[in-house]
Each structure stands twice: as structure tokens, then as C-alpha cells.
């Protein structure tokens, strides 16, 4: 459900604020604004908003969870639309005190949640009809992608978030990674663990992944296939034996925005080809 964080009077308003200087916070929100054809209203974005490419030309006000009021106000927005989890709380409260309408849209990793997020952004932009049209398009695309991904031999997939310091942080249950893996016809290899957690070598061996899934990263966060499979935790796994690693753009993979159908298709094909 859409939430408006601003003054009390604004919070009780029956219609959304008509913002002509819009700041989008969160990669999926920015994608939705572009898909709705409302990008001319954008005056800024956060650092996670890297798609489409033209969005990166907008002023960057910082990371969604490390916003500063000064950075947000520097682009003089009359409406901020954000994914759930913007912060810190103190920064959001200061923006409320400055009477900047701050709309936090619904979140989640299901088809229903994605479609609601689209409708929430469209409502905040006062273009609900465009939102319904885009939601219908995304729903049809995602349904087709999931049907294509259906298999009677699902692979066990281990999503590795980080290998920093030689410790493996992986996706457990109730995560966006688990959701996209299941939509793409795979099975999350990590069971009985909630969220993203560091796993012991023994836990990874028990997970017995057929495929390792990672975000396609560069710089300090990158790791080669050779270095990954040299880690003792993977030594006895099928993923290591077949050297099965799938790397995808993080925003596409985990964003759960209007490209979610594309993410499912891309991952499903990659899982089918892994180890072959």
C-alpha cells in the first residue's frame, strides 16, 4: 500500500501531490517512471538507479539507505518517490519537516507486489491509467516467462552475495534472490536460514548447489571462477565439478521492477545451460 510521508495535512490528502520536479529513490522506482513515460519530470535519482542508461545523467543524491537531507534538497524536488527502506530515519524525518512530499511505495518479491509497486508509482505521479496499462503488460510478460521456466528437473541454486574476507554470504529463505530463483524454475539451495547470512563451509557443502548465482560485479567485489571454486566450501559440490556460475546484473536480477519477466527468462536460460 502506498504511504505518503509528509506533513499531517498532506498525509490525509485524498489525491496524490502533483509533482513536476520528481526525485526517484530506488532502482525499480526509477525504471517504472521511465516505463510510464514520465521521465521528463525527474530531477534526480539515487545511486542504485542505473537503468536505463540515460538515468545516470541525472544528479545522484546518494545511496537509498544513506540519504542526506542536503543531498535530497539540492535538486529542489516537489515530490520524492522511494522504494521501501529509505533512510536513515532521521533524514526522512527532516524531509518531512521541510514539507517535502515523500511517497514510499509497496515492496515485495511476488508478481502481485511488483504490479502494486507499478500502480503505486503511477498513482503518485497522477497517471493511474498508465500504471494499469503497464501493470497488465508486465503481468503478461512475467506469466509467459514463468511458464517457459517450468521444469521437472529444477537445479539447486546458491546465490552468493559476498565472498569478502573469504567468508561466503548467501541468500536463505524469504529473500529476493530466493524469489527470482524459484520464478526461474530453480530451487534455493539454502534451507532453514532466513535472509542473507554468512555460511560455514559445512553449510555450503550440505546445500549441495548445482549452480552458483552471483551479481555481475567489478572492482573489489569481483571474484573469478577460479578463485570462487578454489574456496574449500565448494570443493565437493556439483557446481564446482561443472564450474557452473551464472552472473547477472544486480538491478535486473533483484530489482523486481518492470523488467522482472526479462530477469526470469534470462536466469531460466542460464540455469538450463549451466553444466551442459
Query: Is pLDDT of 212 > 60?
Result: yes
CATH 3.40.50.800 applies to domain 156-273: no
Query: Is pLDDT of 7 > 80?
Result: no
Please give the distance of CA 13 from its chain centroid, rounded to a whole number.
30
- Residue 275: what pLDDT? 72
93 vs 258, more confident: 258
- pLDDT category, 16, cuts 50, 70, 90? low
Query: Is pLDDT of 218 > 70?
Result: no
Query: Is pLDDT of 9 > 70?
Result: no
- Asked whether the domain spanning 156-273 has the same topology as the one spanning 3-142, the reply is yes
Domain segments of the chain: what residues? Answer: 3-142, 156-273
How is domain 3-142 classified at the CATH fold level? Answer: Rossmann fold (3.40.50)
Note the pLDDT tens digit of each residue in 95-113.
Answer: 888 888 999 998 999 999 9
Note the pLDDT tens digit of each residue in 169-197.
Answer: 999 999 999 999 999 999 999 999 999 99
CA distances 275 to 145, 265, 271, Å, are 22, 18, 8
- Residue 17: what pLDDT? 57
Q: Give backbone dihedrals phi and psi of 2, rounded to 5 degrees, phi first.
A: -70, 140
- pLDDT category, 13, cuts 50, 70, 90? very low
Query: Is pLDDT of 5 > 90?
Result: no
Q: What one-character DSSP code corresponds to residue 64?
A: T
Average pLDDT score over residue span 157-174: 94
Exposed/middle/buried for 197, CB within 10 Å: 0-12, 13-18, 19+?
middle
- Residue 97: what pLDDT? 85
Q: Which of 66, 98, 95 minimizes the C-alpha distance to 81? A: 95
Amino acid at each position: 500500500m502506498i504511504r505518503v510521508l509528509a506533513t499531517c495535512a498532506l498525509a490525509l490528502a485524498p489525491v496524490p501531490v502533483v509533482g513536476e520536479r520528481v526525485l526517484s529513490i530506488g532502482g525499480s522506482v526509477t525504471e517504472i517512471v521511465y516505463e510510464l513515460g514520465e521521465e521528463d519530470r525527474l530531477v534526480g535519482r539515487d545511486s542504485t538507479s542505473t537503468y536505463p542508461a540515460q538515468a545516470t545523467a541525472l544528479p545522484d543524491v546518494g545511496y537509498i539507505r544513506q540519504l542526506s537531507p542536503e543531498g535530497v534538497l539540492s535538486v529542489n524536488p516537489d515530490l520524492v518517490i522511494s522504494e521501501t527502506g529509505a533512510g536513515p530515519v532521521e533524514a526522512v524525518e527532516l524531509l518531512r519537516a521541510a514539507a517535502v512530499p515523500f511517497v514510499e511505495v509497496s515492496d515485495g518479491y511476488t508478481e502481485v507486489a511488483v504490479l502494486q509497486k507499478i500502480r503505486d508509482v503511477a498513482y503518485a505521479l497522477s497517471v493511474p491509467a498508465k500504471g494499469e496499462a503497464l501493470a497488465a503488460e508486465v503481468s503478461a510478460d512475467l506469466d509467459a516467462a514463468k511458464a517457459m521456466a517450468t521444469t521437472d528437473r529444477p537445479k539447486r541454486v546458491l546465490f552468493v552475495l559476498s565472498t569478502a574476507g573469504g567468508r561466503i554470504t548467501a541468500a536463505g529463505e524469504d529473500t529476493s534472490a530466493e524469489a527470482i530463483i524459484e520464478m526461474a524454475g530453480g530451487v534455493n539451495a539454502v534451507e532453514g536460514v532466513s535472509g542473507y547470512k554468512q555460511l560455514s563451509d559445512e553449510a555450503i557443502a550440505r546445500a549441495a548447489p548445482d549452480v552458483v548465482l552471483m551479481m555481475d560485479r567489478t572492482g573489489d567485489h569481483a571474484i573469478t571462477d577460479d578463485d570462487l571454486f578454489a574456496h574449500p566450501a565448494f570443493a565437493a559440490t556439483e557446481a564446482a565439478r561443472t564450474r557452473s556460475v551464472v552472473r547477472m546484473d544486480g538491478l535486473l536480477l533483484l530489482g523486481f521492477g518492470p523488467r522482472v519477466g526479462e530477469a526470469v527468462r534470462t536466469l531460466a536460460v542460464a540455469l538450463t545451460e549451466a553444466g551442459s
